[in-house]
């Protein structure tokens, strides 16, 4: 994988550049996170001590980027945000249906959705927007977002660092990670549906 020229230039700034790239990744879907962070783990980390610093800086950048979307959601309000998604969402992979599902999820448990949602491609990018629209408590959002970004970034950076001498392209490793996550999520959803269906049958026969 070859990063865009601007990203290569920013990366040359060291930890500051890594934090800035993490922020940009959260603001504009130019480079998928599962590719960017695997690449950074493979190319920008020299040792375990540096890995910890990169994880911390990238998490800070991701949280700040998420806060920008969160603030935008609060500024727009529900009606204007829905109108913007209807008009422009198709250009950035944010369909009105996805936006509505994220809103409903937030209304059930905002902290859990923010925490877990960071492991779901596309969803993790836009989660802060409906959180801001629904005026989720700022501190709850920040803490849950920081935890979710930390787990996600650390996992991808560590995977990249672990396979840095393998010769594997970051895109391929990133796709494997996403497929593995989707398989786990699909299995978890299927297990929950089976459990609830079995519970309903048990209650019906009681």
- Taking Cα atoms as reference points, which of 151, 161, 85 lies closest to residue 119? 151
Report whether 26 contacts 19 (CB < 8 A).
no
Q: Residue 14, SS3?
A: coil
Higher-confidence residue of 102 and 20: namely: 20
Token pair for 41: 């783990």
Q: What is the pLDDT of residues 140-164, one digit of tens each?
A: 888 888 998 998 899 889 988 888 7
Lookup: tokens for 20: 């800035």
Q: Is the pLDDT of residue 189 over 60?
A: no
Examine the pLDDT at 16 and tell me if it is beyond 90.
yes
């Amino acid at each position: 994988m070859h990063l865009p020229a601007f990203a290569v230039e920013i990366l040359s700034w060291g930890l500051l550049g890594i934090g800035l790239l993490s922020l940009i990744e959260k603001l504009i879907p130019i480079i998928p996170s599962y590719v960017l962070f695997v690449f950074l783990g493979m190319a920008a980390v020299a040792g375990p001590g540096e890995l910890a610093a990169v994880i911390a800086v990238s998490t800070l950048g991701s949280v700040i980027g998420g806060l920008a979307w969160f603030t935008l959601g609060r500024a727009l309000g529900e009606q204007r945000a829905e109108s913007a998604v209807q008009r422009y969402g198709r250009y950035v992979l944010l369909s009105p249906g996805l936006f509505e599902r994220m809103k409903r999820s937030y209304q059930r448990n905002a902290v859990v959705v923010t925490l877990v949602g960071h492991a779901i491609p596309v969803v993790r990018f836009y989660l802060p927007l409906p959180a801001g629209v629904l005026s989720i408590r700022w501190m709850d959002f920040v803490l849950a977002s920081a935890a979710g970004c930390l787990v996600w970034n650390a996992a991808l950076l560590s995977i990249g660092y672990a396979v840095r001498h393998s010769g594997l392209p970051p895109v391929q490793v990133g796709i494997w990670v996403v497929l593995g996550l989707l398989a786990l999520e699909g299995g978890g959803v299927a297990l929950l549906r089976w459990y609830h269906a079995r519970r309903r049958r048990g209650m019906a026969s009681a």
